[in-house]
């Protein structure tokens, strides 16, 4: 598989009233096309900072980001971002929410509208296109937010604690749903979470960061050797608890 994203020696220093805060130090890893990478690490270790740097919303202090071997400076069109809040606009119906990203980028045309329509149909939201976000369940809202992001055809999707606002049961179902869609669309994804089980359940690799300043402590390959793997059925695998224990220990060592 070819490398789609390379993160090379990223360092980030924030300026604050108390002086400089070193948030990230020498972050280095590669992501292959179609791969799902989970990032875990203690609170405040720089996970959100790293995603913001990859998307170009935040400036890096040192290092380089390459997407398909091209150095990225500033905001990247190829990167989509999903946050904890679905950020759907309550006064717009599902259709106008779904086309919002395209509208903002000035890319709304007959062809892109057809694409959004096909996504809504494929993922069972087309019948809800005239409804407002408040009329949808939490899970359907997240799916609508995902379709809005996919509509702009990003090459890499970043998810920052995207499911953590949902209650446990819903979270498992939504994770499964979103995972299925992303795999079907052959997306490459970077998933930031503080939940070790969630990280394992979705990832091909888990990147473990140290406490601040965040450095790469380990990259743990996840392979359940299962056909039709999904975030729910992997939890039944014996390997799941082995991975959990390994990562739990790695997170704990420098507490």
Contacts to Mg ion by CB under 5 A = 48
Q: Angle 93-179-106 (CA atoms, 0-180°, nearest 5)?
A: 40
Q: Which of the ranges 45-53, 81-89, 126-134, 138-146 carries the binding residues for ligand ADP, by CB under 6 A?
A: 45-53
CA 56 – CA 79 distance, rounded (Å): 9
CA 72 – CA 56 distance, rounded (Å): 8
Element (H, E) at 252: helix 238-252
Binder of ligand ADP out of 21, 108, 165, 173 (CB under 6 A): 21
CB of 145 to ligand ADP, least distance (A): 20
Could you say which of ligand ADP, Mg ion, none residue 23 binds, taking C-beta under 5 to 8 angstroms by partner kind? ligand ADP
CB of 82 to ligand ADP, least distance (A): 15
Decide: is 43 part of the binding site for ligand ADP (CB under 6 A): yes
CB of 202 to ligand ADP, least distance (A): 18
Binding letters toward ligand ADP, positions 206-225, x by CB under 6 A: ------x-------------
CB of 114 to ligand ADP, least distance (A): 37
Q: Which of the ranges 16-24, 115-123, 126-134, 231-239 carries the binding residues for ligand ADP, by CB under 6 A?
A: 16-24
Decide: is 45 part of the binding site for ligand ADP (CB under 6 A): yes
For ligand ADP, the closer of residues 27 and 116 by Cβ is: 27
Task: Let me know: does 67 contact 156? Beta carbons within 8 Å.
Answer: yes
Sign of CA dihedral 83, 86, 92, 94: positive
DSSP state of 214: B
SS3 category, 35: coil
CA 90 – CA 101 distance, rounded (Å): 15
Q: Which of the ranges 3-11, 44-52, 124-132, 182-190 carries the binding residues for ligand ADP, by CB under 6 A?
A: 44-52
- Tell the residue number behind the tokens 């390997």, with chain if given: 239
The H-assigned helical ranges of 84-233 are: 94-98, 100-104, 110-122, 138-150, 168-184, 196-202
Token pair belonging to 161: 């604690």
Decide: is 14 part of the binding site for ligand ADP (CB under 6 A): yes
Q: Which of 160, 216, 232 is nearest to 193 (CA)?
A: 160
Decide: is 57 part of the binding site for ligand ADP (CB under 6 A): no
Element (H, E) at 232: none
Could you say which of Mg ion, ligand ADP, none residue 14 binds, taking C-beta under 5 to 8 angstroms by partner kind? ligand ADP
Residues that bind ligand ADP (CB under 6 A): 14, 16, 21, 23, 41, 43-49, 212
């Amino acid at each position: 598989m070819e490398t789609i994203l390379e993160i090379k020696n990223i360092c980030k220093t924030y300026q604050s009233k108390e002086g400089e805060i070193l948030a990230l130090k020498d972050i280095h890893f590669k992501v292959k096309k179609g791969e799902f990478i989970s990032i875990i690490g203690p609170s405040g270790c720089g996970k959100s900072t790293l995603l913001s740097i990859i998307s170009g919303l935040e400036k890096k202090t040192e290092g380089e980001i390459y997407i398909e071997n091209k150095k990225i400076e500033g905001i990247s069109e190829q990167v989509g971002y999903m946050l904890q809040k679905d950020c759907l606009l309550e006064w717009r119906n599902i259709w106008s929410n779904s086309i919002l990203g395209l509208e903002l980028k000035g890319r709304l045309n007959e062809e892109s509208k057809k694409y959004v329509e096909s996504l809504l149909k494929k993922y069972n939201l087309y019948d809800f296109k005239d409804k407002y976000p408040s009329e949808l369940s939490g899970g359907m809202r997240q799916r609508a937010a995902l379709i809005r992001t996919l509509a702009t055809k990003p090459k890499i999707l970043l998810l920052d604690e995207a499911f953590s606002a949902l209650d446990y049961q819903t979270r498992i179902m939504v994770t499964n749903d979103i995972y299925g869609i992303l795999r079907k669309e052959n997306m490459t994804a970077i998933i930031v979470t503080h939940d070790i089980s969630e990280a394992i359940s979705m990832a091909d690799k888990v990147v473990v960061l140290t406490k601040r300043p965040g450095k790469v402590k380990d990259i743990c390959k996840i392979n359940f050797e299962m056909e039709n793997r999904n975030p729910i059925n992997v939890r039944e695998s014996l390997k799941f608890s082995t991975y959990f224990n390994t990562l739990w220990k790695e997170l704990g060592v420098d507490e």
